[in-house]
Structure 1
């Protein structure tokens, strides 16, 4: 008897990887699997749904569930808390708010957020042992957010991750040359190579935030597949 949807997921994944369930093969239905594992059908459904979201299974109504012929591996990427990233490197984190203003977003920002009304723009410099680590440029839709903390005392990055759920979002990565403003903030020469992360998050009733993180040279991102 296997209990818990995670254990059922792991057993199903083992069968896929060992080709006990071959690529393209239709697997037993949920009722049969629930009987085999000695659990509720809903538990099996949760396990198979997780594998389908990961790209290992294809689920179709009335056609059953089959093993994906060419499974798509997906990376697992969490929104990072910059303080924890710095501390994981054995350094002490601090941050400094460089500016905070309510402004109408320029057309590129308004287009990406589908929101042309006034937003709060906060620019924050994150430090590791007193040295520049990342420059955070963040647009915030305060109309749908709870009252914000004092950004001088609490990092908005950490506060948002811990307090504001989101329904959808996306992340883009790029390598760009530092402009004069970024170079001055990060203590670099203009044109230095930066690792850029841009992230949007949305609630059901509108955008939450658009943030651009410019990381100093030497930054490394790690994820799982």
Structure 2
């Protein structure tokens, strides 16, 4: 008996694995599946979305849902609380708020988050430390109009941890790069200018609006671990 979205997911997965729906095949629409299983369309949507996120289905607006030709296992990436990252290494975390001001973001940032090019937003720059030594240099842009109240003193509470625990995100983009340290990063992290550094850039959104753009420049020796 099919009752919830997990049951729908299990049955759809069974059909894919049994090749009842072959790779590349267009599967029945949500309304048809909802009628077949005797559940709400929203229940079917949740199940298909979960399988799409797992790389087993390909969903396109107005084109329907197909079984993936080459199913891909996707890595699971969580938005990290930097304090927890540091403590998991057996080290003590602290941070310093280096800057906080209203300013106009660079055009690439404003464009990525859908902000007007001349609108002022909240800029924060933070240095995270592990056992008193530089761990990550964080630069962040926020739209204060969409932050919940009351907001804390970001000199006392890390903006990274506060956002993760107080603002629910729906989607986002993450980019990774190796970059040479510029003058500012070299100064903050205590490395030679031009040193190779691991950089993470992330944008996150609610269902309605952009939340933040953050750029994390990690000190030498940083190692990322994830799951597949």
Contact 1:30 1:45 in 2 (8 A): no
| Secondary structure of the structure 1 residue equivalent to 2:168 | coil
Give CA-to-partner distance per residue, 1:99-120, whole Å, 9 cap, x none. 1122222334333333321122
| Secondary structure of the structure 2 residue equivalent to 1:109 | helix
| Secondary structure of the structure 2 residue equivalent to 1:196 | strand
Any unmatched runs of 5+ in structure 2? none
Change over 3 Å in CA distance of 1:27–1:152 after alignment to 2: same
Match of 1:184 in 2: 187
Match of 1:123 in 2: 125
In the aligned structure 1, how far is the partner of 2:148 from the partner of 2:62? 44
Change over 3 Å in CA distance of 1:23–1:188 after alignment to 2: same
Q: How does 1:1-225 map to 2 (within 5 A)?
A: 4-6=4-6, 8-10=8-10, 12-13=12-13, 16-17=16-17, 19=19, 21-24=21-24, 30=33, 34=37, 40=39, 43=43, 45-58=45-58, 66-113=66-113, 114-115=115-116, 116-147=118-149, 148-203=151-206, 206-225=209-228
| Secondary structure of the structure 2 residue equivalent to 1:143 | helix
TM-score, normalising length: structure 2: 0.79
| Secondary structure of the structure 1 residue equivalent to 2:200 | strand
Any unmatched runs of 5+ in structure 1? none
| Secondary structure of the structure 1 residue equivalent to 2:145 | coil
Report how many residues are paired: 221
Contact 2:8 2:37 in 1 (8 A): no
In the aligned structure 2, how far is the partner of 1:44 from the partner of 1:122? 42
Deviates more, 1:20-29 or 1:64-73: 20-29
Contact 1:101 1:120 in 2 (8 A): yes
Aligned Cα RMSD in Å? 3.1
TM-score, normalising length: structure 1: 0.80
